[in-house]
Chain A
Amino acid sequence: GQQLNQSPQSMFIQEGEDVSMNCTSSSIFNTWLWYKQDPGEGPVLLIALYKAGELTSNGRLTAQFGITRKDSFLNISASIPSDVGIYFCAGRTNAGGTSYGKLTFGQGTILTVHP
């Protein structure tokens, strides 16, 4: 089946530093999503990308949908302690029909922020 390769697997950074993580795939996706998961909770949507080349921001977060439609990255600027968690990328191959919402997830990036 389809696979997303997410990197890095983990990051240990100091508060105030910028963070970058990315996902790559051998398959084309029509939608890229970025989720954050706090301990003991379900994933929460951070950013959704629907067009190749699209660059979208949500506060200190910026994500881009790669031109080839096979990759996406997420940047977090000026990290703070509450950014700690697991970040997942997810891709969807089509946006219609009965398969809407079927997502392929990356393995996750565990982010630790030291005060």
Chain B
Amino acid sequence: AQSVSQHNHHVILSEAASLELGCNYSYGGTVNLFWYVQYPGQHLQLLLKYFSGDPLVKGIKGFEAEFIKSKFSFNLRKPSVQWSDTAEYFCAVSSGTYKYIFGTGTRLKVLA
């Protein structure tokens, strides 16, 4: 069965620190990969997505993610976080059926 692992459940950073959130998935076929963000009190929003092509994907608000097929990973990065990045981040995988398998989420707190 497909699964998604997010290794960091809670992350606390100071402003301007660099961020990397890990995401690993288990699925042997072609996958689509996503990172969603949920700001406090708001709905899930798409940060970035990977379907094919360049494995380095750039999303909104300065986020990027790299798909490494050999490692079944899709880690999220941002060179310099801001207080406004405080949110919960979810990695998700689909195999083309639009049914998503989500990771457990990472709560990021950025200290001003």
A binds B: no
